[in-house]
Amino acid sequence: MPAQQKRRSVFFVFLLTCITAAQAQKVVTGKVTSAADGKPLSEVTIVVQGSPVGTTTYPDGTYAIKVSGNDAMLVFTYIGFETQAITVGNNSVLNVSLKQQSSNLGDVVVVGFGKQKKATVTGAISSVPVNNLQRIATPSLSNALAGSMPGIITRQSSGEPGYDGAAIFIRGFGTWANRSPLILVDGVERDINNINTQEIESFSILKDASATAVYGVRGANGVILIATKRGVTGRPRVVFRTENATLQAMRLPQYINGPEYAGLINEALVNDNLPARYTDDELRKFRDRSDPYLYPDVDWTDAVLKRNTFQSINNLSVTGGNEIIKYYTNVGYTILNGIYKQDPKNAYKTNAQMKRYNFRSNVDINVSPTISLELGIGGVIQQGNYPGTRAPDIFNALRITSPINYPKINPDGSIAGASTSYLQNNPWGLVTQAGYTRQDRNTLQGTFGGRWDLSSLVTKGLSVRGLFSYDHWYSASTDRIKPYAIKQYLGKDANGNDRYSSPPIREEQPMRYVVNNGANRAYYTEVAVNYNRSFNKHTVTGMILGNRREYIDLTAGSTLSNLPYRRQGLAGRITYNYDNRYLAEVNAGYNGSENFPEGKQFGFFPSVSAGWVLTREKFWNFDAVSHLKIRGSFGQVGNDQIGGRRYLFLTTINRQGQSYFFGDNQRFYQGFEEAQIGNDDVTWEVATKSNIGFDLELLSGIVNLQVDAFKEQRDGILIQRGVIPRVTGYYPWTLPYANLGKAKNTGIDAMLEVKHTTRKGFYYSFRGTITYAKSICTQNDDPIPKYPYQSFVGLPIDQPMGLIALGFFKDQADIERSPKQNFMDQVKPGDIKYQDYNNDGVVDDYDRVPIGYPRTPQMVYGAGASVAYKGVELSVFFTGAARASLFVDGPSMYAFQMGLGTYNILREYYDNRWTPQRQDAKYPRVSPYQNPNNNRTSTMFLQNAAYLRLKSAEVAYTFKVAALKKIGLDNTRIFINGYNLVTWDKIKVIDPESDYGTGGYPLQRSINFGAQLSF
């Protein structure tokens, strides 16, 4: 064939190929709407199945996508709606109506080391919609959890910036050692309060043995699983959210004023038939403040604390991707200011403040159709500023400094004080003149993982995956503490000059410079083989996993503490379901810790569970019940966070023990002693758990009910021996530890949820939860008490003991006919009268009995509702607690606790104290001395700590501005919400979540304004 003819043939073939390709390629357009109301759906993900081509719908629901031919299949996915897959065919215009999901049974639930369909889960697992958590504007995630899901109990006792995290317990606690749950973020053990709520994709808790057995020695206290957001297929989506709140301190301490305090001193003296200290003229000076330095009247709360402060939380995220690579990135900035007043003369800040910068980036890459990789990077930079005095010391100074001890400052501007040691803690001086502390905490988190689908190489459903993480934490605290001068004002001399104590109580000293550093790092490695395959109506899944974690304290103070903390082991799971009707699951963990003796470092923790979906049975014909599943589980899990010292199996010697003098010259000899008596059998706690529950769905998913009842037996709780008598020669600090403690924990938790969208687009929802857990000590090593009712065995863990107050002695005749009270020589009318519980004719410590409930509530509940229509949203959420007690006692409630005129006095005591004219008082009379009869733990100062709190409320409006579409702004959501808005309780004086005493740094109420812009 001539060359020219060949060239023509090649050109003709090329042209024909191009024409054919052009004919095969085409653009499909259309609109996606809601089947319920016909409204356009924005950001619907559309992908060409089996290819990287994808797009998302515009705000008006329209889309355009290029396909390779008529056989192409488009997959439409949108959160809350059923996924649709449609073959293009000859269509160039494809309009699609998506139906709302009538049931959430197809949802995927995060479980230990994997995921399962909600319909086939047999373990006790709870989750919460993330948007519920995001309505609560708090920098600490733990503060948003109370009442949000069944099984979780929290208590927040402080509102101090950077230290305001709540204590978290899952189903109460089965031990009096470490009770904290295992918290995993993206599968790695991390701090829950370092997570920004805007970064969270899902939040779940694992409660029973079936759900936690794979975690072995870390599963006994429950597990919290947090998954951060990942990229989705579609155009880049940018979301900016800013929220700014004004904060109000809740229940600041209210103390009496100077004239009242001076009058109370006189009253105390008169009660004991002693002459008054202050004359009427002196009392007048306290009232009219005519001599404010010798007769001061200082409201210390107002002097050092502000009522209001400020908070700002800001986040910017970008997400998007295609079938090959997906990405999610978020940066956040949070600032929370404290309530301390500042001295404008200072060149530095002394108010508490927390600044935090968050960064998170998650990238998913499909290297091939069978291999995928994921990379996650997180960073937290937190900066704190605080007064040179710790918060507990500041609030203690408020409790013990009376309004008449001295003025805030002296006439010459110096800090006032007195020679008595506790009176050298002038609250104003502690807050503003004692220097400052700067704290920096930096956290770096890196996670790398991969998955290889071996279905085409080995067998269908087989895959392997791996995970590696590296976390590094660094903390630096710079303390610039300044001992300020303290002078006591003594009045004026004959010439009218001010007189001060000489020498001063304390001379001013230079500002000190002390740096404290801390650092640690942790490696985590995980390799797993997974199998998931269906054979007709049979589905079998399996998992075998090996992992290892190594943690090192890089700045440890001793060689022993610097040794790596290691934990490693194996985990396995096998599940089977027939026709999604009969479900069975076996989980097990075999792992251990280097903290235990060689040969006894590993343990095996198995569990079994089963479920029966009755609505899948042929005999079921009750259409209103769309899903009913009964499930149960039984198994064992462990807790290696047992407390005590490290390596308790080692015996150590203290070379600086008790010293002795021997010989005629009484020569000094340094003694040796046992510092720790080793226990070769020390081991972990073992929790044997059983659970039975059911999941009920009514009206095709409109109503959902989940109920679980549980029982736990905890064995092997580590305790220091208590029955070894002193005559054996052991020092109290050398007594050995042993796994002798036992406890049981029983309870119930439940969740009811109702949600529906009407045909006209009106959405409403209700969600209520309740958790009840009672933990009982069944065995300890305490000496057998003289009276059985004083044994803690059989009582709730943390059960308080005290005297039962019957009221007050009315008169001397009442005192004489009552049993003798041995706490002081002579009681008087107005003193507390206690019950002689053992009827021996004497009231003493043998009459102390269990009173009230433990401090941590045994019951927590929550209820919330939301409505939405045409862009307007309204939501409220209540949380509460019951079966909890709080002692409001100690300084400022024990009047003149250290003697006449000592310590401050709360108005709660002053307004409700006993006087001859007020026989029906709440609190005893005031005494001119330390009153050991009244100032002791009893029901007199015991308060019911049950409460109901309007935790949050929000009003929001989402709208679109057509003129702003040109710059890519899809929609704008503006909102106003509140946090800790109203609390109903019986205490009133301090917050019902406070620790024993009279409160510390108060919790905050917030009114939060914000906006969210989506591009």
Per-residue b or e along 791-818, where b marks 16 or more CB atoms closer than 10 Å to that residue's CB: ebeebbbebbebbbbbebbeeeeebeee
Using a pLDDT cut of 90, give the percent of the chain over it: 77
Q: Are 407 and 394 in contact (CB under 8 A)?
A: no
Tens of pLDDT, residue by residue over 774-787, are 999 999 999 999 99
Query: Rounded to whole angstroms, how far apart are CA atoms 642 and 648?
Result: 11
Query: Rounded to whole angstroms, how far apart are CA atoms 339 and 570?
Result: 49
Q: Are 213 and 637 in contact (CB under 8 A)?
A: yes
According to DSSP, residue 100 is labeled: B
User: Using alpha carbons only, what angle is made at residue 205 by residues 442 and 857, rounded to the nearest 5 degrees?
Assistant: 95
- State both tokens at 981: 């808005």
Pairing of strands 489-492, 498-500: antiparallel
Tens of pLDDT, residue by residue over 1-16, are 455 554 555 444 444 4
According to DSSP, residue 268 is labeled: H
**Closest alpha carbon to 905 in 275, 267, 293:** 267
Q: What is the pLDDT of residue 13?
A: 42
Judge whether residue 798 has pLDDT over 80: yes
**Of 68-77, 540-549, 962-971, which gets the smallest average pLDDT?**
962-971
How many helices (H) and strands (E) the chain has is answered by: 11, 54
According to DSSP, residue 143 is labeled: G
100 burial (CB, 10 Å; 0-12 / 13-18 / 19+) is middle
Q: What is the pLDDT of residue 245?
A: 96
Query: Rounded to whole angstroms, how far apart are CA atoms 956 and 241?
Result: 13
Tens of pLDDT, residue by residue over 154-187, are 999 999 999 999 999 999 999 998 999 999 999 9
The DSSP element (H or E) to which 400 belongs, if any, is helix 391-400
Query: Rounded to whole angstroms, how far apart are CA atoms 389 and 434?
Result: 7
Tens of pLDDT, residue by residue over 97-145, are 988 775 566 578 889 999 898 889 999 999 999 989 999 999 999 999 9
Separation of CA 755 from chain center: 27
Judge whether residue 416 has pLDDT over 50: yes
Tell the residue number behind the tokens 């001068």, with chain if given: 485
User: Using alpha carbons only, what angle is made at residue 534 by residues 533 and 537, rounded to the nearest 5 degrees?
Assistant: 160
Query: How long is the chain?
Result: 1015
- State both tokens at 428: 């104003």
Q: Are 943 and 986 in contact (CB under 8 A)?
A: yes
With residues binned 3-state (H G I as helix, E B as strand, rest as coil), the percentages for the chain, rounded to 5, are 15, 45, 40
Mean pLDDT along residues 52-77: 83
Tens of pLDDT, residue by residue over 344-365, are 999 999 999 999 999 999 999 9
> Taking the CB of residue 757, how many other CB atoms lie within 10 A of it?
18
Tens of pLDDT, residue by residue over 203-253, are 999 999 999 999 999 999 999 999 999 998 888 999 999 999 999 999 999
Residue 107 to residues 45, 203, 767, 964: CA-CA distances in angstroms? 18, 14, 18, 35
Query: Rounded to whole angstroms, how far apart are CA atoms 803 and 942?
Result: 10
Judge whether residue 1015 has pLDDT over 80: yes
Residue 427 to residues 390, 406, 489, 773, 923: CA-CA distances in angstroms? 12, 11, 17, 41, 27
Q: What is the pLDDT of residue 16?
A: 40
Query: Rounded to whole angstroms, how far apart are CA atoms 665 and 1009?
Result: 79
Tens of pLDDT, residue by residue over 840-882, are 999 999 999 999 999 999 999 999 999 999 889 999 999 999 9
Cα-based torsion angle of the residue sequence 736, 737, 740, 745 in order, rounded to the nearest 10 degrees: 150
Mean pLDDT along residues 282-290: 94
Mean pLDDT along residues 692-718: 95
Q: Given pLDDT bands bounded at 50, 70 and 90, which one contains residue 23? A: very low
Q: Which domains does the chain have, with CATH numbers?
A: 25-98 (2.60.40.1120)
Q: What is the pLDDT of residue 938?
A: 97
Judge whether residue 492 has pLDDT over 50: yes
Mean pLDDT along residues 430-436: 96
Long-range contacts (CB closer than 8 Å, 24 or more residues apart) made by 365-372: 365/324, 365/325, 366/323, 366/324, 366/325, 369/453, 370/452, 370/453, 370/454, 370/455, 370/456, 370/457, 371/450, 371/451, 371/452, 371/453, 372/450, 372/451
Tens of pLDDT, residue by residue over 587-604, are 999 999 999 999 999 999
Query: Rounded to whole angstroms, how far apart are CA atoms 947 and 835?
Result: 29
Q: What is the pLDDT of residue 662?
A: 86
Q: Is the dihedral of CA 612, 615, 616, 618 positive or negative?
A: positive
Three-state helix/strand/coil letters over 408-438: CECCCCCEECCCCHHHHCCHHHHHHCCEEEE
Mean pLDDT of the chain: 92
Tens of pLDDT, residue by residue over 764-776, are 999 999 999 999 9
